[in-house]
Amino acid sequence: MTEHLFQDDAYLRDASATVTGHTQEGGIILDRSIFYPNGGGQPGDSGSIAWAGGSLRIATAVKAGQGAIALVPAEPHALPAVGTVLQQAIDWERRHRHMRVHTALHLLSVVLPLPVTGGQISSERGRLDFLMPEPPEDRAALEEALNDVIERDDPVTDEWITEAALDADPGLVKTMSVRPPRGVGRIRLVRIGDADRQIDLQPCGGTHVARTAEIGRIRIGRIENKGKQNRRVHLHLD
């Protein structure tokens, strides 16, 4: 199992690690990772690793089973051997934009309080699919409401609960298509706001900014019809 350093500190840009294995596809498994692996609609991080006698660009990170994360090299290269101590560094600007978009999507689900059927994140934009038979009547008003919530500069924090606690409160899960990962006995919750003024609380394993104002201004893009009951709402970093 790889220690997920990004869940404890999404702002960690570099860290040391030890190679614990390789995948059949040529991925590099570390004992601890600052690289977020592709999943939950958020892309895997890119970056680099360096060790005595070598370095590699990392194109992405993926889940490798049983809690492990594999770093995928950007080009063919001799891999560092098991036991090698190396330094890992993420492409910070790209990661930070993912954090801004991801947090903005949480807030979009607040201003559009409807069941979420899917989502996707990139470094420039994001989208959520909603169980929404009719589109919003006023897209400009929706955009204004979202930016008003962002500008309140609420804190974004996380905590862990047991799987049993989530089962006792299933309403915490907003996404119908992506279920919280299970098997380790606990679930990570991301909270926007505080105990006196909570804006949002839902299970999420992704990376987020520390305060909502860090997102910056958001522009609502297309609202697409994706079926009889579904609408896809796009947002863009302004």
pLDDT at residue number 178:
57
Which band of pLDDT confidence, cut at 50, 70 and 90, is reported for residue 55? very high
pLDDT value of residue 34: 98
pLDDT of residue 6: 96
Q: Which fold has domain 95-237?
A: Threonyl-tRNA Synthetase; Chain A, domain 2 (3.30.980)
pLDDT at 223 over 80: yes
Higher model confidence: residue 136 or residue 209? 209
pLDDT at 165 (0 to 100): 79
CATH number at 3-90? 2.40.30.130
> What pTM was estimated for this model as a whole?
0.92
pLDDT in tens, 16-36: 999 999 999 999 999 999 999
pLDDT of 181 reads 61
For the chain, the structural domain boundaries read 3-90, 95-237
pLDDT over 70 at 103, yes or no: yes
CB 211 within 8 A of CB 153: yes
Question: Residue 204 pLDDT more than 60?
Answer: yes
Looking at residue 51, what is its pLDDT?
A: 97
Where b means 16+ CB within 10 Å and e means fewer, 66-90 reads eebbbbbbeeeeebbeeebebebbb
The predicted model gives 215-237 an average pLDDT of 94
pLDDT in tens, 175-200: 655 556 655 678 889 999 997 889 99
Q: Rounded distance, CA 62 to CA 36, Å? A: 8
- Between CA 4 and CA 33 the distance in angstroms is 6
Residue 66 has a pLDDT of 86
**Per-residue pLDDT at 91:** 98
Q: Is residue 156 a contact partner of residue 210, using CB atoms and an 8 Å limit? A: yes
Summary mean pLDDT of the chain: 92
Q: What does the pLDDT read at residue 169?
A: 77
pLDDT digits (tens, 9 = 90+) for 150-175: 999 999 999 988 877 777 777 777 66
Neighbour-count burial for 127-161, b at 16+ CB within 10 Å, e otherwise: bbbbebeeebeeeeebbebbbebbeeebebeeeee
What's the rounded mean pLDDT across residues 61-71?
94
> How confident is residue 235, by pLDDT bands cut at 50, 70 and 90?
very high
